[in-house]
């Protein structure tokens, strides 16, 4: 008897094989949305359960990207707006994040990755900041780049970039400064200036908006909105996103 799992496995293999000769995105941004709604739908004991499932999916997705040769990944795991959620809920999420970061210290899954963090890290608990600092030190090399956005807001990044740019050029007269500012200067002051523009953004949970994710870097990104919640996001869903990407005609505003 042919099982659904077997059929999905065949379909997944076929999808991946068909993508091998296509031009895949070099930089993927992922909005990992839907943990709480998944927990409510599945009647889980707490959000913490869904957060843990979501972090398993996070690591699996890294492996999928590594397997397909996608060298740059930006994962939005916590927005600045999320910081206003109830303390009890945030604390459970912080604990799960901390466990994830401790795993990444020793997991050979990220041996090829440099891990960077962007966002308002200073607003996070001290123990989480310490884990982030240690992870950046241990995973400070690697040919591929994983950027984790925590306490991140796209508007705040642009505001901070402008503040940094003005601070750097404060000796200039205002008119000279205005004339000197250009796209590349602003880019050089973003949180992750060496990271290329986003080719593909994936958002799970059925929400059809970017919520301020990488506003500057996503000017010409392709966006795919997935109906599934992040904890149930499968490799086949990921491959479908890539298939949709390669089928699009990217015009870059032309």
Q: Are the C-beta atoms of residues 207 and 36 closer than 8 Å to each other? A: no
In the set 17, 82, 197, 199, the catalytic residue is 82
Which is it for strands 27-31 and 72-79: parallel, antiparallel or unpaired? parallel
Q: d(Cα 26, Cα 105) in Å, to the nearest integer? A: 25
Instruction: State which H helix or E strand residue 150 sits in.
Output: strand 144-152
Query: If residue 116 lies in a helix (H) or strand (E), which one and from where to where?
Result: strand 113-118
- Residue 203: is it exposed, middle or buried by C-beta count within 10 angstroms (0-12/13-18/19+)? buried
Q: Whose structure tokens read 């994710």?
A: 213
Can you tell me the distance from the alpha carbon of 236 to that of 8, in angstroms, rounded to the nearest whole number?
8
33 tagged catalytic? yes
DSSP 3-state helix, strand, coil percentages of the chain (rounded to 5)? Answer: 50, 15, 35
Beta strands 222-225; 72-79: pairing state: unpaired
**Burial category of 216 from C-beta neighbours within 10 Å (exposed 0-12, middle 13-18, buried 19 and up):** middle
Annotated catalytic residue, options 33, 66, 71, 199? 33
Burial class (CB in 10 A: 0-12, 13-18, 19+), 95: middle
User: Which residues belong to the active site?
Assistant: 33, 82
């Amino acid at each position: 008897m042919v099982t659904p799992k077997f059929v999905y496995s065949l379909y997944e293999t076929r999808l991946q094989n068909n993508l091998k000769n296509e031009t895949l995105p070099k930089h993927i941004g992922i909005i990992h949305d839907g943990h709480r709604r998944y927990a409510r739908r599945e009647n889980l004991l707490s959000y913490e359960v869904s957060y843990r499932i979501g972090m398993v999916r996070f690591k699996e997705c890294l492996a999928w990207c590594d397997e397909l040769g996608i060298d740059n990944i930006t994962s939005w795991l916590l927005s600045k707006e999320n910081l206003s959620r109830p303390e009890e809920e945030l604390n459970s999420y912080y604990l799960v994040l901390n466990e994830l970061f401790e795993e990444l210290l020793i997991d050979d899954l990220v041996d090829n990755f440099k891990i960077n963090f962007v966002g308002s890290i200073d607003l996070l608990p001290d123990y989480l900041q310490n884990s982030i600092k240690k992870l950046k030190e241990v995973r400070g090399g690697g040919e591929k780049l994983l950027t984790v956005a925590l306490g991140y807001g796209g508007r705040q990044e642009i505001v901070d970039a402008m503040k940094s740019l003005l601070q750097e050029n404060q000796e200039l007269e205002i008119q000279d400064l205005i004339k000197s500012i250009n796209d590349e200067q602003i880019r050089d002051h973003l949180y992750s200036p060496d990271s290329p523009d986003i080719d593909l953004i994936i958002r799970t949970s059925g929400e059809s908006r970017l919520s301020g994710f990488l506003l500057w870097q996503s000017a010409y990104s392709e966006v795919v909105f997935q109906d599934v919640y992040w904890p149930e996001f499968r490799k086949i869903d990921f491959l479908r996103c890539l298939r949709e990407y390669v089928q699009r005609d990217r015009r870059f505003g032309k």
